[in-house]
Amino acid sequence: MIKIDVDMTKCQHYGQCVFEAPQVFKLNNDDKLEYTATADESERANVEAAIDVCPMQAISIVE
């Protein structure tokens, strides 16, 4: 399992991460980001892609 952290003080809810890792990130009905704090190791590449595309650099993997 990998642990994911999103700094919600940095996040501007652009949703780019949703396109890269839809199993982990989603925008709710208010267009606010929601995410799963843990994910299967098989999602690592998708989460890393989400980290790369986040314009606010708000996402990280907690090692």
Q: What is the pLDDT of residue 1?
A: 96
Q: Which residue range is the domain that position 35 belongs to?
A: 2-62
Q: Model pTM? A: 0.93
Q: Model confidence at 33, in pLDDT bands (50, 70, 90)? A: very high
pLDDT band at 19 (very low <50, low <70, confident <90, very high): very high
What's the number of domains the chain is made of?
1
User: How does DSSP assign 12-60, residue by residue?
Assistant: ----HHHHH-TTTEEE-TTS-EEE-SEE-GGGHHHHHHHHHH-TT--EE
CATH number of the domain residue 41 falls in? 3.30.70.20
Q: At 63, is the pLDDT very low, low, confident or very high (cuts 50, 70, 90)?
A: confident
Query: What average pLDDT is seen over the chain?
Result: 97
